[in-house]
Amino acid sequence: MSDALLAVRNLSVQFTTYGQTNQVLKGVSLDVPARSQIALVGESGSGKTVTMRAIMGLLRTPPAKVTSGEIFYDGHDLLTMPTKERLKLRGTAMSMVFQDPMSSLNPVFTIADQMGTILKYADRRLGRSRGNRERMARVHEVLGQVRMRDPERVSRSYPIMLSGGMRQRVLIAMALLSEPKLLIADEPGTALDVTTQAQILKLLKDLVEERGLALLMITHNLGVVRETSNYVYVMNKGVVVEHRPTADLFEAPRDDYTRALIAAVPRLTGGTSFGKAGAAA
Amino acid sequence: MEFLLFLVRRILWSILVLVGLSIVIFAIARVVPGDPARMALGPTATAQQVADLQEKLGLNKPIVEQYGMFIAGLSQGDLGRSLLTERPVNDDIRETFGATFELVLATITLAFVFGVPLGVAAARWKDKWPDTLVRILAIFSAVTPSFFAALLLQILAGYVLHILPTTGRLPHNMEFVASVTGLLTVDSLLAGRLDVFGEALRYLLLPATALALATMGQIARITRSSMIDVSSQDYIEASRAFGVPEPIRVFKYMLRPSFVPPLTILGLEFASLIGNAFVVELVFAWPGIASYGIRTILQKDLNAVMGVVMVSGVFFVLVNLVIDVLVGFVDPRVRIRGSR
Amino acid sequence: MASETISTTPPRRLSNAYQNWYRFSRNPTAVIGAAIVILAILAAILAPWITPHPDHVGAVVNFRARHLPPSAEYWFGTDNVGRDIFTRVIFGLRISLLLALVVLGIAIPVGTTLGLLAGYFGGWVEIVIMRLTDIALAIPPLVMALAVAAVLSPDLINSMLAIAALWWTWHTRLIYSITRQLRTQEFVEAAETLGASKFHILFREILPNCVSALAVKTSLDAGFVILVGASLSFLGLGIQPPTPDLGTMVASGSAFLPDYWWESVLPGAAILIVALGFNLLGDGLRDLFDVQEVR
């Protein structure tokens, strides 16, 4: 066991559908130290999403089943701790930034309502209490932190009234509500245009650095990896095939799969540069 | 503001539908049969009697002019005189509509109060026994003819168990006139007559249940499938990740967006609900507009029949208007897009 | 998930019919539904040869045998003039099925064509047709049939026409929504670019894509039309006595409730079961074709 904030050890997960069993994760290990920026990269089906869902406790069991391994947060194994304890961490100690700003917000409730509800139950889990007004103040504060110009107006809006970029920022704000130590970001901004995505990634990076958070960035995009991480894990077919400092990886990829991934990135300016964010998107 | 625009559009729409409806009804009544006066008076009437009645009702004027008169009357809420009773059709309908309205209101309430929770339960325990049970229930309620459901309920509750009255709206020895809203349950409360209220409810229960069954099944089925649909949405997953507890997720975040399809279905199916009300009223001797309609139809009382069809059409349009407002209320996307 | 990369798709076309049959036969609701429907149709066609008292369809009177409860000789008992109810129920199926056949035989071609036109051409064609469906939707078919019966005369033909005159609207709405989605699809645009006629595009390119949804709808609708028809004859507006009709039998039998319950309950149950058969079949087809909710 390491002293990392989040440590995944030898995690194996299988899925059983229609009587067929698939080993989706085969002994995955990774470390996210406090205040670090880690990327987990792989193509669809590589197991990166399953890893993320296992960490967040979002796997549906069945069909999924954790067959072996541990996930330590702050030294406590999430998989063996009582459900109640684990729920305390969800959305509070570790929080998630969702991928698709169009579909990850409930269309029939205002932003204030959705963020307020999240905060209310996060508070309750942590044994805190806050009045309605204080809660709204906190919502507005966080919306301001994600550089929303008019937090009060935004909070009164329904998702349909906001642009994609604004919705993505709301999703980041949601993750920040209870001041988590670890942010897990699932390809944020992939659904947006390249310029907006670049802004979102920049914002995320700034926020993480400003408040000293740890970031685990899940992505299939090597451009995003380069922009947002200093250490990277490469996954393929349920296995971590390679992990090392991000800069190293681009200099001298060791694994064949990694090399293939890097080669697959279209070059925009010639040479070995990777188009800024979104080249492979 | 957006909402107001949305409403205005819907109201204009409804007026258009009503105009179309009036043309259809007028066409059926005046163009198809030939001579309504002869039909009303029967084959034994003399030519003079027929001519007199034609004169009186304006039947000898050109068709377009007759339609003009019909519309002019309609716009003032005047449906003409019954060919037989010579009473204004309005009065007849006003007297009977309250009973039908009460029945339909109770029916919709029952259908939602039972249909939605059943659908939620089926979705929550998908592919488990509650789901199977609800699906069987939904199918049977959809395929049971209303008159058959009515008869079975009558046999069961009225004859076998002797727990509920099987015909009428109130016991014969109970004196009460619903004069304010026409709804016995409401008017009795307004008058402070709890005894009447209790009886009115007892009499209402069987017919409303018989009529509600089909709608309830549909609502349960639609609620189930839309809950399942919504439950796989990213935003539900997100609320799970943020630690929103399951009851809030199910009854707030899932139920509200799932509420639109059942409402829409109620609107679409409302016509067949009115149709079923005709048979159910007959079985339970419920003194509503349907009973009146069947009486007048058997007597070939054309003005009255047109009135009944028009009123059920207006009822449909109004209910759909209310549903549209409710849908707009439940789902902001509808009212924001609807106004554009 | 990870299985995507491993699984291989079997050659579809060759085994399509077999696959469909296999999936169908594994779906209990669909199989039960199909069995009920086939049985009902066969019974209706073969009624004169398979019923114990085929002469009881007419105005036969046998007062000695009136109001007899179900027994080995009279499976469903006898009615108030001593006729075998089982025989009359089987013959009554003929009317119910005929009604469904005629109504849908009119409503489907009309509704489908209008839906194709409205969905493909858009503009004023769409506005006129879809407003018409809004109007038709506002009139309960049962009430329409009542009105027509009042104007003309209460009989089966008039009732069928009255129901058909409103029923097309459901098919129009269904086909319209599919056509609108297909209008901008590449295969339609390709056909347009190649200069295919409008007729070809509507009926050869778009219509085949509506068939599975139509099949589901038709099966479900057959059940609902039978229910409306039964309600009409329950009100005395269907085919006139002595021809056996299920709704009429329920109505006349209900006069003898609760003592002679079989006279109304068993014909009523027959309506329910036929409607159930069409409904289960429709549900099964929906699962098979993976069609969305259509009603």
**Cα distances (angstroms) measured from residue A113 to each of A29, A136, A158, B109:** 38, 9, 10, 28
pLDDT reading at C211 higher than 60: yes
Lowest mean pLDDT among B9-18, B35-44, B317-326, C16-25: B35-44
A235: enclosing H helix or E strand: strand A231-236
Residue C10 pLDDT: 37
The number of angstroms, rounded, from the C-alpha of C149 to the middle of its chain's C-alpha atoms is 22
Query: Are C5 and A238 inside 8 Å of each other by CB?
Result: no
Instruction: Give the end-to-end CA distance of chain B in Å, rounded to a whole number.
Output: 12
**Does a structural domain hold residue B185?**
yes
Cβ atoms of residues A205 and A37 within 8 Å:
yes
B126 touches chain A (CB under 8 A): no
Give the pLDDT band of residue A279 (cuts 50, 70, 90).
Answer: very low
Q: Which of A86-100, A195-209, C211-225 has the highest mean pLDDT?
A: C211-225
Nearest to A170 by CA among A219, A218, A101, A109: A101
pLDDT at B35: 67
Q: Give contacts of A 43-102 with B, CB under 8 A.
A: 56, 58, 87, 90-92, 95-96, 98-100
- Nearest-Cα distance to chain A for B254, in Å, is 9
Q: Which residue has the higher pLDDT, B146 or B39?
A: B146
Q: Say which residue, C110 or A269, is predicted with more confidence.
A: C110
What's the rounded mean pLDDT across residues B303-313? 84
Q: What pLDDT is attached to residue C110? A: 94
* Structural domain includes residue B340: no
Which of residues 105 through 164 in chain B touch C, CB cutoff 8 A?
Answer: 139-140, 142-148, 151-152, 154-155, 159-160
- Asked whether the predicted pLDDT for residue A264 surpasses 80, the reply is no
Say whether pLDDT at B88 is over 50: yes
CB C281 within 8 A of CB C219: yes
Using one digit for the tens of pLDDT, what is the confidence trace for C28-37?
A: 888 999 999 9
A45 touches chain C (CB under 8 A): yes
pLDDT over 90 at A231, yes or no:
no
Structural domains in chain B (count): 1
User: Parallel, antiparallel, or unpaired for β A20-32 and A6-17?
Assistant: antiparallel
- Cβ distance A50 to C1 less than 8 Å, yes or no, reads yes
Question: Across residues B289-296, what is the average pLDDT?
Answer: 82
CATH of residue B108? 1.10.3720.10
CB contact under 8 A, C265 and B140: no
Give the whole-angstrom CA distance, residue C175 versus residue C208: 11
Taken in order A56, A61, A63, A66, the sign of the CA dihedral is: positive
Lowest mean pLDDT, pick from A84-98, B100-114, C125-139, C266-280: A84-98
pTM for this model (two decimals)? 0.82
Instruction: Kindly tell me if the per-residue pLDDT of C273 is higher than 90.
Output: yes
CA distance A251 to A247: 6
Burial B274-306 (b: 16+ CB within 10 A, else e): bbbbbbbbbbbebbbbbbbbbebbebbbbbbbb
Work out the mean pLDDT of chain A and round it to a whole number: 80
Chain C closest-CA separation from residue A145 CA (Å): 36
Give A278's pLDDT tier (boundaries 50, 70, 90): very low
**What is the structure's pLDDT at B338?**
56
- Is the per-residue pLDDT at A219 higher than 50? yes
CA neighbor of B36 nearest in space, from B102, B78, B83? B83
Answer whether residue B26 is part of any domain: no
Does B25 reside within a domain?
no
Q: Closest by alpha carbon to B242, among A214, A57, A139, A52?
A: A57
Task: Identify the structural domains of chain C with CATH numbers, from first to last.
Answer: 89-294 (1.10.3720.10)
Query: Quick check: is B5 in a domain?
Result: no
Interchain pair A24, C6: CB under 8 A: no
Q: Residues C171-202: pLDDT tens digits?
A: 999 899 888 888 888 888 888 888 788 888 88
Phi, psi of C171, deg, nearest 5: -70, -35
C195 with C274: CB under 8 angstroms?
no
Q: Which domains does chain A have, with CATH numbers?
A: 6-265 (3.40.50.300)
- The tokens describing B219, both together, are 């609502």
Confidence band for A44, pLDDT divided at 50, 70 and 90: confident
- Chain A and chain C share a number of CB contacts under 8 A equal to 21
Give the nearest partner residue to C137 out of B33, B145, B271, using CB atoms: B271
Task: Work out whether strand A231-236 and strand A214-219 pair parallel, antiparallel, or are unpaired.
Answer: unpaired
Whether C260 has a pLDDT exceeding 80, the answer reads yes
- Chain B residues in contact with C279 by the CB 8 A cut-off are 139, 142-143
> How far A37 CA lies from chain C's nearest CA (Å)?
26
From A91, A108, A117, residue closest to B241, measured CB to CB: A91
Nearest CB to A108; choose among B237, B244, B332: B332
Q: Average pLDDT, stretch C35-40?
A: 93
C19 pLDDT more than 60: yes
Q: Which of B266, B269, B297, B310 to mutate to test the interface with C (most CBs of C within 10 A)?
A: B297
Query: What pLDDT score was predicted for residue C152?
Result: 77
Q: Are B276 and C229 in contact (CB under 8 A)?
A: no
**33-72 in B: which are within 8 Å (CB) of C?**
33, 39
**B312 closest CA partner among C137, A245, C26, C295:** C137
Chain A residue at shortest CA distance from C1: A45
Task: Tell me the shortest Cα–Cα distance from B30 to chain A, in angstroms.
Answer: 48
pLDDT value at residue B40: 65
Checking if the pLDDT of C119 tops 70, the result is yes
> Is some CB atom of chain A closer than 8 A to the CB atom of B257?
yes
Q: Higher model confidence: residue A56 or residue C98?
A: C98
Could you tell me if B244 lies within 8 Å of chain A, comparing CB atoms?
yes
Is B126 strand, coil or helix? Answer: coil
Q: What is the mean pLDDT of residues A86-103?
A: 80
- pLDDT score at B107: 94
Structure confidence at residue A277 (pLDDT): 41
Instruction: Give the mean model confidence (pLDDT) for residues A118-127.
Output: 83
Task: Look up the domain containing B267 and give its range.
Answer: 90-303
| Residue B46 covered by a domain | no
Q: Which of residues 180-219 of B touch C (CB under 8 A)?
A: none
- Select the more confidently predicted residue: C108 or B176: C108
Q: Is C32 on the interface with B (CB under 8 A)?
A: no
Q: What is the pLDDT of residue A199?
A: 83
C135 and B CB contact within 8 Å:
yes
Q: Which of residues 255-274 of C touch B (CB under 8 A)?
A: 257-258, 261, 264-265, 268-269, 271-272
Candidates B237, B243, B331; nearest CB to A108: B331
> pLDDT of B190-214, one tens digit each?
777 778 888 888 889 899 999 999 8
CA distance A168 to chain B (A): 13
C7 pLDDT tier (thresholds 50, 70, 90):
very low
- pLDDT score at A40: 87
pLDDT: is A67 or C59 the higher one? A67
Residue B215 has pLDDT above 70, yes or no: yes
In a domain, B323, yes or no: no
Whether B4 maps to a domain, the answer reads: no
| Minimum Cα–Cα distance from C233: chain B residue | B279
pLDDT score at A267: 56
Res. C12 pLDDT band, cuts 50 70 90: very low
Residue A145 pLDDT > 70: yes
Indicate if ipTM > 0.85.
no
pLDDT of residue B119: 92
Contact assignment for A22 to C4 by CB distance below 8 Å: no
Chain C residues in contact with A22 by the CB 8 A cut-off are: 1-3, 6
Distances (CA, A) of A225 to A33, A195, A229, A242, A268: 17, 16, 6, 14, 17
CB A235 within 8 A of CB A48: yes
Which two tokens mark A193?
Answer: 């245009």
